[in-house]
Structure 1
Amino acid sequence: MGLDPGLRRLALGTLLAAYPGPVPPDWAVDLVADGLAGHTLFGTNIHDPAQVAASTAALRAGRADVLIAIDEEGGDVTRLAHATGSPYPGNAALGAIGDVALTRRVYQAIGAELAALGISVNLAPTVDVNSADDNPVIGTRSFGAEPVRVAAHSAAATAGLQAAGVAACAKHFPGHGATVADSHYELPTVDVSPDVLRQRDLPPFAAVIAAGAKAVMTAHIRVPALTGDGPATFSRTVLVDLLRDEYGFTGAVVTDALEMKGAALAAGGIAPGAVRALAAGADLLCIGAKVDAGLVERVAAEIVAALGDGRLARARVEQAAGRAAELAAWTRAAGTTTGTPTDLGYAAARRAVRVEGVLAGLDHPLVVQLHAASTIAEGRVPWGLGPHLNGTEEIRVVAAEADPDALRRHAGTRPIVLVGRHLHRLPGGPELAATLAATHPVIVVEMGWPANWRPVDARAFVTTYGASHANGRAAAEALGLTG
């Protein structure tokens, strides 16, 4: 016996699914016609702008008000430019520049690009205050470590996106910036009082709510004082008492991907997690990136079963689906803006570069890029100075396996430009930099979160505050290596 069609449609109205490949399969469009709230696009769905526009048109053929979401943060997290790197600097660079009008323009440009492709929700900006230098998942995705600065830029980013007709979804509530674990793999704990959250982590959320953010995304983090042993995504205290009642948010509460270990392990699977998130007050449930029709049907069936056995009240699910529908209605009614000159991001990235020390005498260097793993959020996006070098030799090495003497011999009389991401916590990175700089002219280019570490004896330390295509070009220009 199949699901009651009305209850199945109600359950589907709370779900953001996904599909594989560049063309939406029939089942993905059929689910939209059956009431699925929408789909999230990932890098595997994106080849070129014309193809993306065709995909979103195909989804809209299923239902005109389908939500089409994407993680297009600019900087290190890009889906549209996953093959080359983003033409925009990310939040850390924008925060370092400190020009909120620029932040608004950059996000409006991103929004205009999304709107032109038929994408209606951006799962951005990241408004976490990166208070932990060793944070493995936020870092350069944050506008900085100061709540007031992050709040101002978060509000500007939200206003910019929504001026372009794309709904902003600020993340990750109540703040992922103090974690030293990645919620894609485990459930991080932020063991602080609610008052510390209010002073350190929550001001940016207050700012985006005041700026009219249409959506807020939950964090799969544990805050024992508020959430007990589970994540914030499953906490009514966080999603209702704090976000809605105390901070006055009236838009859609969107979960981070329920396939992430921070949620799935705590709930015993994606489908039980969907029920727990709805019961806690979430409205729109991101299932994840690895989704097929069977998984969507299992999640919908679990929600329907929960309606039958009392785990979920029908009024709560109707409220959630209603908020998802209100979000969709806003995106259909919102006006869109025209595009922005494509050099906006590159000009901004140049303003973010910081140089400590002396770059003089940097003739024909050897560029040594240190391998750095990417997070799931970032994906395997190209980075570094390579695409921007004009005849300068570049080699790539693993820091922990590199032989400093061999690198010195290879460089000969040339200075070495050592390029890395999060060098302060890269295995073997600080040691390699120090050993090389002790007897050889070395310039270090930090393209991740810079922290406070600086290599002894290095001639200069260059900070880009991100590793996007724009950041790489800006660093190469600062070093005089582009022409």
Structure 2
Amino acid sequence: MSDVSEIGYAVDLGSADLRRLALAVIQPGFTGLTAPSWLLERLAEGLGGVALFARNIESPAQVATLTAAIHAANPAALVAIDEEGGDVTRLEHATGSSWPGNLALGAVDDTALTEAVAAEIGAALAELGIDLDYAPDADVNVEAANPVIGVRSFGADPALVARHTGAWVAGLQAAGVLACAKHFPGHGDTGVDSHHDLPEVDLGDPETSPWLVPFRAALAAGAASVMSAHVRVPGIDPRPATLVPAIMTGLLRDGLGFTGLALSDGLEMGAVAGPLGVAEGAVQAVLAGVDALCIGGGLADAETVDTVVAALVGAVESGRLPLERLAEAGERVAAAARLRDELRLAATAARTGRPVPGAAPAGRTAAARALRVRGSVPVVATTTGPCVLELVAPSNIAVGDDTPSGLTTAVARRWPGLAPLRITDAAGVRAGLAAAAGRPVWVVVRDPHRHQWMGSVVQQIVRARPDTVVIDTGWPGWSPPQGATHVVTYGASWASGEAVVDLLAP
């Protein structure tokens, strides 16, 4: 039995061709610093992509060797990564990013600088053989209590977010790396993390919805791909948007006119895997119009890939999933690989005057320009260093537990051996103040409006040490007690940490 898809594929049902087609739409993760044999085998069979995480990153040379092995197994495979800059970094997870994140760029509001930062990130990724960046975040963050977006957004104004989303896309793709605007149709007006549960977003009229304005800008800038959000949109469908044809096809394709690659957010996330499981989620996502299935944040093995392949093949064989839809998805993955080759060639030809891979002058400039200071700036003696008290909240799962605050790295580089004292609740204040005796005090906070204990701890510290400098690395709006010097960084990247150290200890 055979069929021919509308885009020209001839596929024999039940044959290796159908398995190959199912493999083409999957982007799994894996564990380890080298590609395991199961991954290389499935790449040779037609696996369409691979997602890299912090667990796969040790050094630039190691990453370049890893991506070369992946491309040797399948030259058309897309090697993808979450490299947003700012708080979400995989390449620099051990130190924090050399580039500030979106909120810092939005605070500066210089689109040429945003484009330059994205171009530097793209140059670094391209040099290592990475093809697709799951960035930029195009969400309009209007909810201060948002537990997963926050500083990953350019801001709360749709027009500002739109112009910087477009600039970020342009800069990244000029460096030869495919951009991915996320999380469609918007994850900024939520108080729930879709890694754990199903948030709800009121889209309103799609023609005028503010959440879609940045996605329109991304598409106008030529974004190669768009990533779905696992959010419920009332009035359309009770399921996550990733699984809804009216959103992933009706809105994204028919409404916005997008013809590129539609990716799912991680299917292992709770909003999808919780009620459905990864395999059923994969089938529903492809039915909805998703072309590439991201799997592997917590699931990274051959069994997961084979289970999803079997589910897709079974859905085609049963007639539930039209062969044409799966073939169309596979062709869009292949088209993205061809676009990658075109962008990489163009970037190489235009290399003169473009950012040097791995260099971050625009990143340093942007981080410094983003700083906002209220109060006097006490200068720290560079020989002794400050006592840094870091008030630690649970990590955002998108950031990862192994990525330190960039200020930690910056302090250690300026004063070797000096490490912040981490405080997780009010009980740690006494020890922190004792350690600070005779030294300047820097208190690092993040989203104290979401963690009430932080505000009371800061008040205690400032009462005891009125000379305290409070460094806020999260979403802005909170203020420390009157009289304290307040430094706002708009993110916790290493670049932002360096800017703070340069400010307070020039």
Q: Same fold (TM over 0.5)?
A: yes
> 1:108 aligns to what?
119
CA distance in 1, matches of 2:488, 2:86: 14
Give the counterpart letter for 1:428 in structure 2.
W
Is residue 264–residue 285 contact of structure 2 (8 Å, CA) maintained in 1?
A: yes
> 1:382 aligns to what?
404
Selected match of 1:272 from 280, 295, 314:
280
Give the deviation of 1:410 after TM superposition.
Answer: 4.0
> 2:215 aligns to what?
205
Give the counterpart letter for 2:151 in structure 1.
T
Selected match of 1:400 from 403, 419, 425:
425
2:233 pairs with 1:223 = yes
2:362 pairs with 1:344 = yes
> 2:392 aligns to what?
371
Give the deviation of 1:409 after TM superposition.
Answer: 4.3
How much identity, in percent, do the aligned residues show? 45
CA distance in 2, matches of 1:212, 1:403: 50
2:482 pairs with 1:471 = no
Q: SS of the residue aligned with 1:344?
A: helix
Give the deviation of 1:384 after TM superposition.
Answer: 4.4
Is residue 144–residue 150 contact of structure 1 (8 Å, CA) maintained in 2?
A: yes
CA distance in 1, matches of 2:129, 2:33: 15
2:474 pairs with 1:448 = yes
Q: SS of the residue aligned with 1:170?
A: strand
Give the counterpart letter for 1:444 in structure 2.
V
Alignment of 1:106-255 (within 5 A): 106-190=117-201, 192-195=202-205, 198-226=208-236, 228-255=237-264
Give the deviation of 1:90 after TM superposition.
Answer: 0.6
Q: SS of the residue aligned with 1:417?
A: strand
Give the counterpart letter for 1:321 in structure 2.
G
2:76 pairs with 1:76 = no
CA distance in 1, matches of 2:30, 2:436: 47
Change in Cα spacing, 1:408 to 1:297, as seen in structure 2 (3 Å) is: closer
Q: SS of the residue aligned with 1:189?
A: coil
CA distance in 1, matches of 2:324, 2:90: 36
Change in Cα spacing, 1:164 to 1:37, as seen in structure 2 (3 Å) is: same
CA distance in 2, matches of 1:404, 1:287: 41
Change in Cα spacing, 1:361 to 1:71, as seen in structure 2 (3 Å) is: closer
> 1:293 aligns to what?
302
Give the counterpart letter for 2:328 in structure 1.
Q
**In the TM superposition, what whole-angstrom CA distance separates every residue of 1:50-81 from its partner, at most 9, and x where no partner exists?**
11111111111112111111111111111111
CA distance in 2, matches of 1:299, 1:112: 33
Is residue 203–residue 211 contact of structure 2 (8 Å, CA) maintained in 1?
A: no
- After the TM superposition, which of the residue ranges 202-211 and 14-23 deviates more from structure 2? 14-23
**In the TM superposition, what whole-angstrom CA distance separates every residue of 1:192-240 from its partner, at most 9, and x where no partner exists?**
25228943211000000111101000000111222x2210000111111
CA distance in 1, matches of 2:240, 2:52: 25
**In the TM superposition, what whole-angstrom CA distance separates every residue of 1:97-128 from its partner, at most 9, and x where no partner exists?**
11100110110111111111111111100110
Is residue 399–residue 428 contact of structure 1 (8 Å, CA) maintained in 2?
A: no
Change in Cα spacing, 1:270 to 1:343, as seen in structure 2 (3 Å) is: same
Alignment of 1:90-109 (within 5 A): 90-109=101-120
Is residue 193–residue 225 contact of structure 1 (8 Å, CA) maintained in 2?
A: no
Give the deviation of 1:401 after TM superposition.
Answer: 3.2
**In the TM superposition, what whole-angstrom CA distance separates every residue of 1:8-28 from its partner, at most 9, and x where no partner exists?**
111111111122101001211
Q: SS of the residue aligned with 2:169?
A: helix
Give the deviation of 1:415 after TM superposition.
Answer: 4.4
Selected match of 1:359 from 357, 361, 377:
377
CA distance in 2, matches of 1:367, 1:102: 31
CA distance in 2, matches of 1:462, 1:132: 22
2:313 pairs with 1:304 = yes
Is residue 17–residue 288 contact of structure 1 (8 Å, CA) maintained in 2?
A: yes
Give the deviation of 1:140 after TM superposition.
Answer: 0.9
Is residue 406–residue 495 contact of structure 2 (8 Å, CA) maintained in 1?
A: no
Change in Cα spacing, 1:206 to 1:444, as seen in structure 2 (3 Å) is: same
Q: SS of the residue aligned with 1:230?
A: strand
> 1:282 aligns to what?
290
Is residue 119–residue 172 contact of structure 2 (8 Å, CA) maintained in 1?
A: yes
Q: SS of the residue aligned with 1:225?
A: coil
Change in Cα spacing, 1:3 to 1:287, as seen in structure 2 (3 Å) is: farther
Structure 1: 5+ residue runs without aligned partners? none
Give the counterpart letter for 2:235 in structure 1.
A
CA distance in 2, matches of 1:217, 1:460: 40
CA distance in 2, matches of 1:57, 1:200: 41
Give the counterpart letter for 2:129 in structure 1.
G
Give the counterpart letter for 2:312 in structure 1.
I
Q: SS of the residue aligned with 2:58?
A: coil
Give the counterpart letter for 1:50 in structure 2.
A
Is residue 438–residue 457 contact of structure 1 (8 Å, CA) maintained in 2?
A: no
2:106 pairs with 1:88 = no
Is residue 14–residue 317 contact of structure 2 (8 Å, CA) maintained in 1?
A: no
> 2:487 aligns to what?
462
CA distance in 1, matches of 2:307, 2:445: 43
Is residue 30–residue 296 contact of structure 2 (8 Å, CA) maintained in 1?
A: no
What is the number of equivalent residue pairs in this alignment?
476
Give the counterpart letter for 1:218 in structure 2.
S
Give the deviation of 1:331 after TM superposition.
Answer: 0.7
CA distance in 2, matches of 1:367, 1:168: 37
**RMSD, aligned α-carbons:** 1.9
Give the counterpart letter for 2:64 in structure 1.
A
Is residue 138–residue 176 contact of structure 1 (8 Å, CA) maintained in 2?
A: yes
Change in Cα spacing, 1:55 to 1:412, as seen in structure 2 (3 Å) is: closer
Is residue 236–residue 280 contact of structure 1 (8 Å, CA) maintained in 2?
A: yes
